[in-house]
Amino acid sequence: MGNDKNLFFGANTADGFVGFYNQIVDVYDLTKFYILKGGSGIGKSTFIRKFADAFKEYNRDFLICSGDPNSLDGVIIPALKIGIIDGTSPHVVDPKYPGVADEIVNLGEFIDFGKVTASKQVLKTLYQKKGAHYAKAFAHLSAARRVHHQIESHYARAIDFDKVNLKLAKIIMQHVDD
């Protein structure tokens, strides 16, 4: 419709994953909120994209995955007060208002366990590698924060914050009456 928005309700930070997914049902005052469950690669993001495509005539708020910007963690249709979200790790969401607004959709019930059993060890190894890569990424973010704070502390000693605040006040005053 042209007024779709891309939003992040979570982020990968120096302290690990931080998310606000549990607040969505209240922020949007949703009357129906579908929470998808199931493992990685099961099709949650594809399911969410197909859901969004069914409502192209409405403004949609896309919740972009912080770990993969090409993947969707959810979509909200504000005009209809409905939404759908990936409720699995790292942004675990459980019903806040069971039977009132929230409904769990378990995509895991469609797994053909006979086919998965053949790849059990490979899948287990891949999940472990994924966890290790996230831990490494968070460690790098933490190291980057420490370096940033060191740089900032050096500049902070050289900045005249009274002059900075005066400049800020002038800029604000230029736009207050606009």
pLDDT digits (tens, 9 = 90+) for 90-102: 888 888 888 888 9
pLDDT digits (tens, 9 = 90+) for 22-50: 888 888 889 999 999 988 888 899 999 99
Q: Which of 143, 123, 121 is nearest to 131 (CA)?
A: 123
What predicted TM-score, i.e. pTM, was given to this entire model? 0.76
β-strand partners of 86: 36
pLDDT digits (tens, 9 = 90+) for 111-158: 888 888 888 888 889 889 988 998 898 899 999 999 999 999 998 889
The Cα 38–Cα 102 span in angstroms is 16
